[in-house]
């Protein structure tokens, strides 16, 4: 019965059925299924399948976003119970699309996937200036900054943020991951980022690696 319920959650996430995910997640709690199982074997497992399909080009960003929103709806049901069950955040992440760039679909998917992997995420949105990223490191001590850019003209803002952190003596206080359509591993290396992710699933894996999580 438990396996059938978890499989139903997976299917609802993959279909992007937010109402169904919420209903099934609540029913799973009522049935006494462990919260970590609902999270890992239901919600997260479904998004791993979705991510794999996206990598293989069998689905595209709109479908991924719909599934991510459905997964996030289930997460909202579970989150109040995390502390009681000893589920600790993987890390504290600040994410945003850099200054001069108003694109957010890819960033939103990464944000939701990170939340699904139990990261605490502070999403600054789009057109995020240097001062806001630096201020976050200074005042909130995140483990990771995740920066996104879709325009080649805005990519330089990633370098500007990293240089500003160096100038403020804060660079060694935080790990930095970058991504977006025009961003490459070579570019990430050239600006001194700690990691690069070509898609949302890779971003989660890299975030875990940078935060020292298995």
pLDDT, tens only, 151-182: 999 999 999 999 999 999 999 999 999 999 99
Predicted TM-score of the model (pTM) = 0.85
Q: DSSP label at 58? A: S
Cβ(5)–Cβ(28) under 8 Å? yes
- pLDDT score, position 58: 93
- pLDDT score, position 55: 82
Average pLDDT for residues 144-151, to the nearest whole number? 97
- pLDDT score, position 54: 86
Residue tagged 């999270």 (tokens): 39
Burial (CB count within 10 angstroms: exposed 0-12, middle 13-18, buried 19+), residue 114: buried
Q: What mean pLDDT is reported for the chain?
A: 93
- pLDDT score, position 214: 61
Per-residue model confidence as pLDDT tens digits over 29-70 = 999 999 989 999 999 899 889 988 988 889 988 898 899 899
Closest alpha carbon to 18 in 46, 55, 40: 46
Residue 146: strand, helix, or coil: strand
What structural domains does the chain harbor? 2-81 (1.10.1240.10), 92-210 (3.40.50.280)
Give 202's contacts (C-beta < 8 A, 6+ positions apart). none
Cβ(42)–Cβ(9) under 8 Å? yes
CA distance linking residue 88 with residue 84, whole number of Å:
10
Q: Which residue has the higher pLDDT, 187 or 83?
A: 187
Write out the two tokens for 212: 């020292």
Per-residue model confidence as pLDDT tens digits over 80-139 = 888 777 778 899 999 999 999 999 988 998 998 898 888 999 999 999 999 999 999 999
């Amino acid at each position: 019965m438990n396996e059938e319920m978890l499989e139903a959650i997976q299917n609802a996430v993959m279909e992007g059925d937010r109402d169904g995910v919420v209903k099934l997640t609540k029913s799973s709690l009522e049935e006494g299924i462990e919260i970590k199982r609902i999270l890992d074997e239901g919600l997260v497992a479904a998004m791993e399948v979705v991510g794999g399909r996206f990598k293989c080009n069998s689905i595209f960003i709109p479908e991924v976003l719909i599934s991510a929103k459905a997964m996030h709806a289930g997460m909202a049901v579970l989150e109040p119970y995390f502390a009681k069950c000893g589920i600790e955040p993987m890390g504290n992440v600040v994410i945003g699309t850099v200054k001069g760039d108003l694109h957010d679909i890819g960033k939103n998917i990464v944000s939701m996937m990170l939340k699904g992997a139990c990261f605490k995420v502070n999403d600054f949105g789009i057109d995020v200036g240097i001062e806001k990223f630096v201020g976050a490191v200074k005042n909130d001590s995140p483990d990771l900054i995740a920066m996104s850019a879709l325009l080649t003209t805005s990519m330089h803002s990633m370098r500007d943020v990293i240089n500003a952190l160096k100038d403020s003596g804060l660079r060694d206080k935080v790990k930095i991951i970058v991504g977006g359509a025009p961003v490459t591993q070579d570019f990430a290396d050239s600006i001194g980022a700690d990691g690069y992710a070509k898609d949302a699933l890779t971003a989660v894996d890299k975030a875990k690696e940078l935060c020292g999580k298995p």
